[in-house]
Homo-oligomer: A and B are copies of this chain.
Amino acid sequence: MKTAHDCIPCLIRQTLNAVRLATPDEKVHISVLREALQAVSVMDLNLCPPLMGQHIHRLIREQTGSPDPYKSIKDMCNRYALALFPELEAMIRASADPFEAAVRLAIAGNIIDFGANIEVDQAVIRDTIAASLSEPLNGDVPALADAVRSAGKILYLGDNTGEIVFDRLLIVRLPAGRVTFAVRGGPVINDATMEDAIATGMTDLAPVIANGSDAPGTILDQCSDAFKQAFDAADLIIAKGQGNYETLSGNRKRIFFLLKAKCPVVAGQTGCRVGDSVIAQSSWP
């Protein structure tokens, strides 16, 4: 998707939130902000917002001198979600439609996101989980179930740490042997990387590949050949979160985007309201 005018103030707000989370040094805050303002002032709006996000997070890593400034937050999110896992599994087992329940909880896990909103605390996560099985869902679960049944190869694009534990609930309910899980190629904000796939047990459930890019989404031009081959070979892509939506919404593969709508721009494009749980489909074929 292109960058909307409304994305511009949001990119600047996210920059300040993110750099504050990365370091308490106010000199770094203003230095990164000034460089982000400069970069956004000349950005090509035909490109997607995560491309600028990638640039800004590279600035933050450079200026903090830390290759992974959110490491402790990421570990905390994974630990928190792993502690919830037995309860989440029990919710699914107790539900009338375990596949739909797993889809709903995988989407609920997308609330754990320090990219769009740093205000997400444990109370919000618990409320989101509690509401997830009964709230209206903007999307077609039977269509997803059909697509899953008929797909020989499924590529599941992960999003955030913490959230990746919720993805396990759905991964185990997809046809065994047909699913590959993908993570970012390098640290970018709190997005899940190979390290997180290992720490959360995802690597025990499915083959996991890194996409070769440190963008907070899936910018195919930047991805490794191995990832691009897996992407091309997949009959079905399940893509989690706004970053993957923003980078792949125009792609002609068969993609089901599973996400919480976190901003008016994406809510508008997916025909829902901010805060809604969404299954959006790509224009396919």
Question: A residues engaging B (CB < 8 A)?
Answer: 5-6, 8-9, 12-13, 15-16, 26, 29-30, 33-35, 37-38, 40-42, 45
Contact = CB atoms under 8 A, between A and B. Distances in A.
B5 A16 contact: yes
Contact of A9 (B9, B38, B41, B45): B9
A37 B12 CA distance: 9
Contacts of A41: 34-35, 37-38, 41
Contacts of A35: 41
A30 B9 CA distance: 12
B12 A6 contact: no
In the complex, the count of this chain's copies comes to 2
A151 to B, nearest CB: 40
A14 to B, nearest CB: 8
Nearest to A19: B5
A26 B45 CA distance: 13
A29 B5 contact: yes
Nearest to A15: B9
A92 B30 CA distance: 47
Given A37-B38, A38-B41, A30 B16 contact: no
Contact of A37 (B16, B30, B40): B40
A33 B5 contact: yes
A231 B237 CA distance: 67
A26 B5 CA distance: 9
27 contacts: A5-B16, A5-B29, A5-B30, A5-B33, A6-B16, A8-B12, A8-B16, A8-B33, A8-B37, A9-B9, A9-B12, A9-B13, A9-B15, A9-B16, A12-B12, A12-B37, A13-B13, A30-B45, A34-B41, A34-B42, A35-B41, A37-B37, A37-B38, A37-B40, A37-B41, A38-B38, A38-B41
Contacts of A38: 37-38, 41
Nearest to A6: B16
Nearest to A30: B5
